[in-house]
Amino acid sequence: MALEFSPETHKKFEATVSRYPKKEAALLPVLCLAQQEFGHLGQEAIEYVARLMDQPPARVRGVVSFYTMLNTKPIGRHHIQVCRTLSCALRGAEQLTGFLKKTLGIEVGQTTADGRFTLSEVECLASCGTAPMMQINDDYYENLTDEKVTEILASLK
Amino acid sequence: MDPINPIKLTIDGKEVATTKGKTVIEAAADIGIDIPHYCYHPKLSIAGNCRMCLVEIEKMPKLQIACNTQATEGMSVLTQSPKVLAIRKAVMEFLLVNHPLDCPICDQAGECWLQDYYMQHDRQASRFEERKEHDRKREVFGPNVVFDGERCIKCTRCVRFFQEITRTNELSVVNRGDHSTIAMFPDAVLDNPLSVNVVDICPVGALTDRDFRFKVRVWYLQKTPSICPGCSTGCNVSVETYQNRIARFKPRINEAVNSHWLCDEGRYCFHDLTGGERLTTPMIRQEGGLVPTTWDKALGAVLRGLRGATPLAGVLSGRSTNEEAFLFAKLMRKISPDSALEVFYQERELTEVEKILMSPDRSPNFRGAREMGVSSNGGFETLMGKIFEGQFSGAYIVGEDLLAMDNDQERIRQALQNLSFLVIQDTRMTDTARLAHVVLPSTYFGEKEGTYTNRNGRVQKLNAATIAPEGALQDSEIFIRLLDLAGDRVAYSTAAEIFHALAHEVPAYHGLDYATIGAQGAQLGGGAGQS
Amino acid sequence: MEKVLLRNIYVPGSHTLAVYRSHQGYQSWVKVIKNLRPEQLIEEIKASGLRGRGGAGFPTGMKWGFVPKDSPKPKYIVCNADESEPGTFKDRLLIERDPHAIIEGTLIAAYAIQSHTAFIYIRGELAFGAGVLERAVDEAIRAGYIGKNIMESGYDLDLIVHRGAGAYICGEETALLSSLEGGRGWPKLKPPFPATHGLFGCPTVVNNVETLAALPWIIEHGAAAYAAMGTEKSKGTKLFSVSGHIRYPGVYEVEMGYPLMKFLQEDCGGVPNGRKLKGVIPGGGSMPVLRPDELEKVNLDYESVQAAGSLLGSGGVIVMDDTTCMVRAAWNLARFFAHESCGQCSPCREGCHWMEKIFHRIEQGEGDEDDLDLILNVSGNIMGNTICPFGDAAAMPAAAFIKKYREEFEAHIAQKRCTVRME
Give the distance from residue A64's alpha carbon to the nearest chain B alpha carbon, in angstroms: 8
Determine the Cα–Cα distance for residues B357 and C136; give it in Å rounded to an integer: 56
Q: Round to whole Å and give the CA distance between C48 and B511.
A: 76
For C333, the domain range is 326-415
Name the residue in chain C with its Cα closest to that of A89: C423
Task: List the 117-176 stretch of C: residues with Cβ below 8 A of A.
Answer: 117, 123-128, 160, 162-168
**Nearest Cβ partner for A69 among C165, C182, C249:** C165
Give the best residue of C243, C326, C333, C418 to mutate against chain A (max A CB count within 10 A): C243
Comparing CB atoms, the residue among A43, A58, A66 nearest residue B171 is A58
Q: A6 by DSSP, 3-state: which?
A: coil
Question: Residue A65: its chain B contacts at CB < 8 A?
Answer: 174-176
pLDDT at residue B4 in the model: 74
Task: Express each pLDDT in C13-55 by its tens digit.
Answer: 999 999 999 998 999 999 999 999 999 999 999 999 999 999 9
Instruction: Tell me the C-alpha distance between B471 and B502, whole Å.
Output: 28
Q: Which residues touch B397 (CB under 8 Å, ≥6 apart)?
A: B314, B315, B422, B423, B424, B425, B432
Decide if C127 and A68 are in contact by the 8 Å CB cutoff.
no
- The contact set of B with A (CB < 8 A) is 169-176, 183-188
Q: What is the mean pLDDT of residues A42-66?
A: 97
Whether the predicted pLDDT of C423 surpasses 50: no
Q: Does residue A61 belong to the interface with chain B, where contact is any CB pair within 8 Å? A: yes
Residue C9 included in any domain: no
Looking at the DSSP bridge assignments, the partners of residue B237 are B226, B251
Q: Which of B172, B175, B187 is opposite residue A59, by nearest beta carbon?
A: B172
Does the beta carbon of A21 lie under 8 angstroms from any beta carbon of chain C?
yes
Residue A108, helix vs strand vs coil: coil
Task: Say if C279 is an interface residue toward chain A (CB within 8 Å).
Answer: no
| C242 CB within 8 Å of a chain A CB | yes
* Domain edge (last residue) among C270, C295, C321: C321
State the average pLDDT over residues C236-249.
Answer: 98
Could you tell me the pLDDT band of residue C119, with boundaries at 50, 70 and 90?
very high
Q: Tell me how far apart the alpha carbons of residues B40 and B36 are, in angstroms, rounded to a whole number.
A: 9
Cβ C350–B178 below 8 Å, yes or no? yes
Q: Which residue of A has its CA nearest to B180?
A: A66
Does C11 map to a domain?
A: no
- A56 touching C, CB under 8 A? no
Instruction: Select the residue of A20, A129, A135 nearest C241 (Cβ to Cβ).
Output: A129
Give how far the C-alpha of residue B333 lies from the chain's centroid of Cα atoms, to the nearest Å.
33
Contact B177 C345 (CB under 8 A): no
Nearest CA in chain C to B53: C385
C2 has pLDDT over 90: no
CA–CA dist B316, B92 (Å, integer): 54
How many Cα atoms occupy the beta-carbon half-sphere of B455 within 13 Å?
A: 21
Establish, for the pair of chains A and C, how many residue pairs have beta carbons separated by less than 8 Å. Answer: 147
Which residue in chain C is spatially nearest to A81 when comparing CA positions?
C125
Q: Which chains touch A (3 or more CB pairs under 8 A)?
A: B, C
**A43 at interface of B, judged by CB pairs closer than 8 A:** yes
Quick check: B146 and B210 in contact, CB under 8 A? yes
Is C108 found in the same domain as C46?
yes
Of C321, C344, C371, the residue at which a domain comes to its end is C321
CB–CB contact A58 B184 (8 Å): yes
Tally of CB atoms within 10 A around A116? 14
Contact yes or no for C363/C326 (Cβ under 8 A): no
- How far off is chain A from B162, nearest CA to CA, in Å? 11
Condensed to tens digits (0 to 9), the pLDDT of residues C346-390 reads 999 999 999 999 999 999 999 999 999 999 999 999 999 999 999
φ, ψ (nearest 5 deg) of residue B181: -155, 170
* Count of domains forming chain C: 3
Centroid of chain to Cα C39 = 26
- DSSP states of B214-245: TT--GGG-EEEEEE--SSTT--EEEEEEETTE
CA distances from B258 to B232, B234, B235, B236, B319 (A): 11, 8, 5, 7, 18
Helix (H, G, I), strand (E, B), or coil: what is residue B511?
Answer: coil
Q: Looking at chain A, which residue has its C-alpha nearest residue C82?
A: A126
Between CA A119 and CA C130 the distance in angstroms is 24
CATH of region B6-80: 3.10.20.740
Query: How many Å lie between the alpha carbon of A43 and the closest alpha carbon of chain B?
Result: 7
Nearest chain A CA: its distance from C228 CA (Å): 30
Interhelix angle for A57-64 vs A27-38, to 10°?
A: 80
B208 CB-near residues (< 8 Å, 6+ apart):
B106, B107, B108, B145, B146, B148, B199, B202
Residue C10 lies in a domain: no
Closest Cα to residue B124, out of C368, C381, C372? C381
Does C385 sit within 8 Å of B128, measured CB to CB?
no
pLDDT in the model for residue B407:
80
Residue C202 neighbours by CB distance under 10 Å: 19
Chain C nearest-CA distance from A7, in A, is 23
Contact C165 A62 (CB under 8 A): no
Contact B96, B119 (CB under 8 A): no
Q: Partners for B (CB, 8 Å, 3+ pairs)? A: A, C
Say what the pLDDT of residue B531 is.
42
Interface test with A, best of C89, C90, C91, C422 (most A CBs within 10 A): C89
Q: Which residue of B has its CA nearest to A70?
A: B175
Interchain pair A86, C180: CB under 8 A: no
The DSSP H or E segment spanning C368 is none
Looking at the structure, do residues C242 and C276 belong to the same domain, yes or no?
yes
Residues of chain B in contact with residue A56, where contact means CB-CB under 8 angstroms, are 169-170, 172, 185
pLDDT tens digit sequence for C208-225: 999 999 999 999 999 999
Residue type, position B413, single letter: R
Interchain contact, B175 vs A59, CB within 8 Å = no
Omega of the bond prior to C192 within 30 degrees of 0, cis? yes
Same domain for C279 and C149? Answer: no
Quick one: B126 exposed, middle or buried, by C-beta within 10 A (0-12, 13-18, 19+)? Answer: middle
How many residues does this entry show for chain B?
531
Q: Which residues, 6+ apart, have CB-to-CB distance to B399 below 8 Å?
A: B316, B317, B319, B320, B425, B426, B427, B442, B475
CB B332 within 8 Å of CB B339: yes
Chain A residues within an 8 Å CB radius of C328:
89
Instruction: Give residue A1's pLDDT.
Output: 59
Which chains have 3 or more CB–CB distances shorter than 8 Å to chain C? Answer: A, B
* A65 and chain B in contact, CB less than 8 A: yes
Contact C147, C24 (CB under 8 A): no
Q: B262 near B193, Cβ under 8 Å?
A: no
- For residue B199, the model assigns a pLDDT of 98
Sort strands C204-208 and C76-81 into parallel, antiparallel or unpaired.
Answer: parallel
- Segment B74-130, tens digit of pLDDT: 999 999 999 999 999 999 999 999 999 999 999 999 999 999 999 999 999 999 999
List Cβ neighbours of C196 (8 Å cut-off, separation of 6 or more). C66, C67, C68, C71, C203
Domain harbouring C190, CATH code: 3.40.50.11540
The answer to whether the Cβ–Cβ distance between C125 and A22 falls below 8 Å is: no
Instruction: List the domain boundaries for chain B.
Output: 6-80, 283-523
Compute how many other C-beta atoms are within 10 angstroms of the C-beta atom of residue B457: 16
Question: Which among A57, A58, A65 has CB closest to B175?
Answer: A65
- Give me the sign of the Cα torsion angle C402, C408, C411, C415: negative
C1 within some domain: no
φ and ψ at B404, to 5 degrees? -90, -5
Kindly determine whether residue C167 and residue B176, on different chains, have CB atoms separated by under 8 Å. yes
pLDDT in tens, A14-42: 999 999 999 999 999 999 999 999 999 99
CA nearest B450: which of B358, B342, B321?
B321
Cα angle value C36/C234/C44 (rounded, 5°): 10
In a domain, C350, yes or no: yes
A43, A47, A62 member nearest B172 (Cβ):
A62
Share of chain C above pLDDT 90, in %: 98
Domain end position, chosen among C321, C339, C371: C321
Q: Which domain CATH number covers C259?
A: 3.10.20.600
Same domain, C272 and C294: yes
Confidence of residue C121 (pLDDT cuts 50, 70, 90): very high
Could you check whether the bond before residue B311 is cis, i.e. omega within 30 degrees of 0? Answer: yes
Residue pairs between chains B and C whose CB atoms are closer than 8 Å: 89
Rounded to 5 degrees, φ, ψ at B40 are -70, 135
Same domain, C163 and C241: no
Task: Specify whether the CB–CB gap between B430 and B317 falls below 8 A.
Answer: no
Which run of H or of E encompasses B183? strand B181-184
Whether residue C308 contacts residue C422, with contact meaning beta carbons closer than 8 Å, is answered with no
Q: Which residues pair with B146 in a beta bridge?
A: B140, B208
CA B268, CA B247: separation in Å to the nearest integer? 10
Question: Mind listing the pLDDT tens digit for each residue in C184-199?
Answer: 999 999 999 999 999 9
Which whole-number Å values give the CA distances from C137 to C15, C130, C204, C220, in the listed order? 11, 10, 21, 21
CB contacts, 8 Å: A43 with chain B: 185-187
- B475-513 b/e (C-beta count within 10 Å ≥ 16 → b): bbbbbbbbbebbeeeeebeebeebbebbbeebeebeebe
A66 touches chain C (CB under 8 A): yes
Closest CA to B73 of B31, B29, B25, B15: B15
Residues of C in contact with B98 (CB under 8 A): 350
| Nearest-CB residue to C354 (from B51, B130, B180) | B130
Q: Kindly report the length of chain C.
A: 423
3-class state of residue A146 by DSSP: helix
- Spell out the CATH class of B283-523: alpha beta
State whether C23 and C53 are in the same domain.
Answer: yes
Q: In this complex, which of B48, B54, B97 lies closest to C189 when CB atoms are compared? A: B48
Q: Are the beta carbons of A123 and C339 separated by less than 8 Å?
A: yes
Distance in angstroms (rounded) separating the CA atoms of residues A108 and C101: 39
Q: How does pLDDT run along chain B (531 residues), one tens digit per residue?
A: 456 789 999 999 999 999 999 999 999 999 999 999 999 999 999 999 999 999 999 999 999 999 999 999 999 999 999 999 999 999 999 999 999 999 999 999 999 999 999 999 999 999 999 999 999 999 999 999 999 999 999 999 999 999 999 999 999 999 999 999 999 999 999 999 999 999 999 999 999 999 999 999 999 999 999 999 999 999 999 999 999 999 999 999 999 999 999 999 999 999 999 988 999 999 999 998 999 999 999 999 999 999 999 999 999 999 999 999 999 999 999 999 999 999 999 999 999 999 999 999 999 999 999 999 999 888 999 999 999 999 999 999 999 999 998 788 999 999 999 999 999 999 999 999 999 999 999 999 999 999 999 999 999 999 999 999 999 999 999 999 999 999 999 999 999 999 999 999 999 999 999 999 999 999 998 655 544
Do C317 and C351 belong to one domain?
Answer: no
Kind of pairing, strands C158-163 and C117-122? parallel
Interchain CB distance below 8 Å, A66 and C88 = no
Tell me the average pLDDT of chain A.
97
Average pLDDT of every residue of chain C: 97
C364 assigned to some structural domain: yes
